[in-house]
Structure 1
Amino acid sequence: MLYINGKWRKTKQEMDVTNPATGEVIHAVSMGGKEETKEAITSAKQAFQTWKKTPGKIRGDYLNKVVHLMKEKSELLAETITKENGKPLPDARREVASAIEYLNWYAEEAKRIYGDTLPATHPDKHLMVLRQPIGVSAAITPWNFPLSMITRKIAPALAAGCTVVLKPAPQTPISAVKVFECFHEAELPDGVVNLIIGPAEEIGKEMTSNPDVRKLTFTGSTVVGKKLLKDASDTVKKVSMELGGHAPYIVFEDADLDLAVKGILLSKFKNSGQTCISTNRVYVAESIAEEFGEKLAEKVSQLKVGNGFTEGTDIGPLINQGALVKVENQISDAVKKGGKVISGGKRYEGETKGYFYEPTVIQHATEDMQIATEETFGPIAPLFTFQSEQEVINQANHKYYGLAAYCFTKDLGRGLRMMEELEYGIVGINDPAPIVIQAPFGGIKESGIGNEGGKYGLEEYLEDKFVSIRTV
């Protein structure tokens, strides 16, 4: 189903949505293309003329209505995520809670968009800065967090006074439909939010080339992000991009090893490693490498792989066959170059269907392996070793990526130095889960532009207008 100008719409073209745990088709959804996208943008532009003038409190009230509806449907939303994405149901429930919190946060922030009054340099002038919504915003969201990524983009846009055209990932469109059902039931004015499902290139091209779109926000791969940036440059749109990551996870000899191991189970293996801030490289001080590897391998071997609806499941399936092959290729390359698999290392045989892979730990990882530079998006933890602080800083700072990094140490001074030296937009010191609603989420280098979350996410949908008034 498409949602344009407050109306649900079916089209003749449909695409199947598949459960990655079973390979079964769970739904068929209508698809739109260039013309439907253009129509959605037009409706969003028309709605913007009124929505931008709607008081922030009233915009917040609409968001609060959506919060109430999503809470009522939270279990249905979680089950939808698990069917489409494959993640364990408890993780899907946490995602729903996070999605709701983004709406809840920005319902309040809508009332707190402040401008400035500047000191004048002439007695007959008054100077001020207005903060105004930028306009129609196009949003493209990924499949790994099909619900929370939607609300993390739409909530600040609506709070700021922008209208939105959303394109969800083709793997997980039903989650988007369920969210938009809540927007519809909340009776948002027609055209304020619009949903287009269909081919990425056709829809993306219209979003980037249409001059009525003034803001583009995207979460996905760096390759696609670069293309969108190039295309959007023709109309000089404001952009925010949350792109690929290659997070280092550093464990010093003085670290609490049990805490560091527990942290990797969360940072690396949640969502089957299919997270942009997932640990990609584990750097362990050489003096504790063997002990740490044994502890980690033992815990990883205890993780339960299976269907997300099966109670006790820790690791669900990868999203598709391509993701499964990529994981296999990286492990094969690592073994050829001297890596030693100490846990996992093969397709999971406990499920006859679906894209399951055992959570894997590899010792003796080296910088010439594919896994050292290529984003994994799978349940593999390669262990590298280091001897000095400066050595690991040099290894950890990636030439291209700069999204998230983690460091474990009991030395306060070292923790502060690592905080300063790690070239990443997000740094967790003894914290494998640093993401919170009120903080900025974004990367540097080729990992992104701009931020989401907190007041920082709201600013991405506002522009400054300087006004000088002469009184005589």
Structure 2
Amino acid sequence: MLDRPHLFIDGQWLAPQNGGSFDVFDPSDASLLATVAAAGAADVDLAVTAARRAFDEGPWPRLSGAMRAAVLRRIAEGIRARQDDLAVLEVRDNGKPLPEAQWDIGDAAACFDFYAGLAEGLDGEERQVALADARFRASVVRAPVGVAAAIIPWNYPLLMAAWKVAPALAAGCTMVLKPSELTPLTALELANIAADAGLPAGVLNVLPGLGNETGAALVEHPGVDKIAFTGSVPTGSRIMQAAARDVKNISLELGGKSPFIVFADSDIEAAVEWIMFGIFWNQGQVCSATSRVLVERSLYATLLQRLSDEAQKIRIGNGLEAGVLLGPLVSAGQHAKVSAAIAQGIADGARLICGGKRPAEQDKGWFMQPTVFADVPLNCALWREEIFGPVVCVNPFDTEVESVQLANDSEFGLAAAVMSADLERCERLARKLQAGIVWINCSQPTFSELPWGGVKRSGIGRELGEWGLDNYLETKQITRYQSSEAWGWYLKP
């Protein structure tokens, strides 16, 4: 058992004031993995108060960017020093295959390193602005927003924490982090790593708990200045409504139903590889998963056959087993949701090519076969709604214009991909596709240096890159009257 009976508040491990807890399960066999402390409203208030005090009175926002960068780099070093243990913990908590977890942990460390560099860049950033009225001298600076609340999902537990914690700390903010109740374990380890790196008490507080209790209390707390959320559209909408009452700064990274357009001049093996990577990585539990594949008609039947053949070769099992490339879904609830979506897709007339069931050899845990549908009705839920599982829908198209129309016909706009040997066509489509991220001849590559976020119902704002740092900074003008002459409006000289 990996019990975690305490919350991390103001640099200390404290028992929840209401004695609350919740259970966390291993997705590979449904066994009890840990019992974890659940923060209540009183704990949220204690954590926000600590973060407020650390921001208003503590040293962190007043340190130079270079000094904050040194702490961020020590956090990165601490993550790398524990990379193997953290990766195993991520597998047991989330279910993803070990190579994916190792990749994620490495990316989390790299994210802290990247924002350390941006923190250093904040020093000396003040910009002088020339004014027509020479009696005044003006400059523009950026200042930390204040106390940030971060609510992260279960699909990339430590990496999503890094995406929010690293830029917030780089900017000089303090933070209360709420991990998902399904996967809280590595976020709690991050609290220890940050403390060991010398992060002052109160700057980072970690509160596991349930969304409708811990999350709601955090979003509604008057001491929070900024809310950063990654998750579902319905939850994001509720957070937006709650934030509106106090006009809080928000950034939302929500759902997706991302298209992948494949033209007939594509290398079919490369196309199959990237389609699979775009939907079966992390069991398809990826907001940007390219789950709607559009294939030029002359390649359609051939590609479907190759995709079906290769999908059925993927080894499914416990993510800690060698050679496994598809682990279980994260929870019983997620397994039921994906199973229901598959059943509804069949009922709506989509043609099941392969998969769609629990693997016969996996009688425990929440496993689902890689699933391929073809000829999917354009108005059915399978084509239009986010499934968040290893389920890909494939449809044909005839013309370039039609491919763009089909790709853009969605309420979401997080990501899109296009594959063709004609790079000029790829670049042309990249500018027509309604998405915050467009990949050419690939799917899913993600870099700390580049902005991440979408349009339409996929969210508001951007994470990563310099845009991620902007989430936690406010722009401030400083104007000084520098003339030796009296102003003389009311008091005449």
Give TM class, smaller chain. Answer: over 0.9
The amino acid across from 2:178 in the alignment is K
Aligned in 2, Cα 1:186/1:120: closer, same or farther, shift over 3 Å? same
- State whether structure 2 residue 10 is matched by structure 1 residue 5: yes
- Equivalences for 1:103-182 in 2 at 5 Å? 103-113=112-122, 114-182=125-193
Q: Which residue of 2 aligns with 1:378?
A: 389
SS in 1 for 2:372: strand
- Equivalences for 1:402-413 in 2 at 5 Å? 402-413=413-424
Alpha-carbon distance between aligned partners in 2 of 1:330 and 1:189, rounded to the nearest angstrom: 46
The amino acid across from 1:23 in the alignment is A
Give CA-to-partner distance per residue, 1:344-376, whole Å, 9 cap, x none: 121112112101011011121220221111101
- State whether structure 2 residue 348 is matched by structure 1 residue 343: no
Alpha-carbon distance between aligned partners in 2 of 1:230 and 1:280, rounded to the nearest angstrom: 29
**TM-score, normalised via structure 2 length:** 0.94
Give CA-to-partner distance per residue, 1:297-327, whole Å, 9 cap, x none: 1111110110111110010001122222222
The amino acid across from 1:98 in the alignment is D
CA shift for structure 1 position 444: 0.8
Give CA-to-partner distance per residue, 1:394-436, whole Å, 9 cap, x none: 1111442010101101112211221111000000011213311
Alpha-carbon distance between aligned partners in 2 of 1:405 and 1:136, rounded to the nearest angstrom: 34
Q: Which residue of 1 aligns with 2:3?
A: none
Gaps of 5+ in 1: none
Counterpart of 1:434 (choices 418, 440, 445) is 445
Give CA-to-partner distance per residue, 1:13-44, whole Å, 9 cap, x none: 22111001111111111111111001100100
Contact 1:140 / 1:169 at 8 angstroms: preserved in 2? yes
- Equivalences for 1:308-457 in 2 at 5 Å? 308-457=319-468
CA shift for structure 1 position 469: 1.3
Contact 2:288 / 2:444 at 8 angstroms: preserved in 1? no
Q: Which residue of 1 aligns with 2:60?
A: 51
Alpha-carbon distance between aligned partners in 2 of 1:115 and 1:238, rounded to the nearest angstrom: 23
- State whether structure 2 residue 73 is matched by structure 1 residue 68: no
SS in 2 for 1:246: coil
- State whether structure 2 residue 42 is matched by structure 1 residue 35: yes
Give CA-to-partner distance per residue, 1:26-80, whole Å, 9 cap, x none: 1111111111001100100111133111111111111111111111111110011
Contact 1:361 / 1:380 at 8 angstroms: preserved in 2? yes
Alpha-carbon distance between aligned partners in 2 of 1:96 and 1:268, rounded to the nearest angstrom: 21
- Which deviates further from its counterpart, 333-342 or 206-215? 333-342
Alpha-carbon distance between aligned partners in 1 of 2:347 and 2:29, rounded to the nearest angstrom: 32
Q: Which residue of 2 aligns with 1:188?
A: 199
Give CA-to-partner distance per residue, 1:65-109, whole Å, 9 cap, x none: 111111111111001100010001111000000110111111111
Counterpart of 1:87 (choices 96, 100, 120) is 96
- State whether structure 2 residue 103 is matched by structure 1 residue 98: no
Gaps of 5+ in 2: 1-5, 484-493
**TM-score, normalised via structure 1 length:** 0.98
- Equivalences for 1:194-205 in 2 at 5 Å? 194-205=205-216
Q: Identity over aligned residues, as a percent?
A: 36
- Which deviates further from its counterpart, 33-42 or 342-351? 342-351
CA shift for structure 1 position 9: 1.2
- Which deviates further from its counterpart, 392-401 or 420-429? 392-401
The amino acid across from 1:231 in the alignment is A
Contact 2:384 / 2:410 at 8 angstroms: preserved in 1? no
Alpha-carbon distance between aligned partners in 2 of 1:327 and 1:139, rounded to the nearest angstrom: 27
Counterpart of 2:296 (choices 285, 290, 294) is 285
CA shift for structure 1 position 330: 2.2
**Greater Cα radius of gyration, structure 1 or 2:** 2
Alpha-carbon distance between aligned partners in 2 of 1:95 and 1:217, rounded to the nearest angstrom: 20
Contact 1:204 / 1:228 at 8 angstroms: preserved in 2? no
Alpha-carbon distance between aligned partners in 2 of 1:117 and 1:33, rounded to the nearest angstrom: 47
CA shift for structure 1 position 385: 0.9
Q: Which residue of 2 aligns with 1:268?
A: 279
The amino acid across from 1:13 in the alignment is G
Alpha-carbon distance between aligned partners in 1 of 2:219 and 2:375, rounded to the nearest angstrom: 44
Alpha-carbon distance between aligned partners in 1 of 2:103 and 2:141, rounded to the nearest angstrom: 37
- Which deviates further from its counterpart, 343-352 or 95-104? 343-352
Contact 1:402 / 1:445 at 8 angstroms: preserved in 2? yes
The amino acid across from 1:81 in the alignment is E
The amino acid across from 1:247 in the alignment is S
Contact 1:137 / 1:214 at 8 angstroms: preserved in 2? yes
The amino acid across from 2:162 in the alignment is T
The amino acid across from 2:44 in the alignment is T
Name the count of aligned residue pairs: 472
SS in 1 for 2:13: strand
CA shift for structure 1 position 333: 2.4
Contact 1:403 / 1:447 at 8 angstroms: preserved in 2? yes
SS in 2 for 1:302: coil
CA shift for structure 1 position 329: 2.2
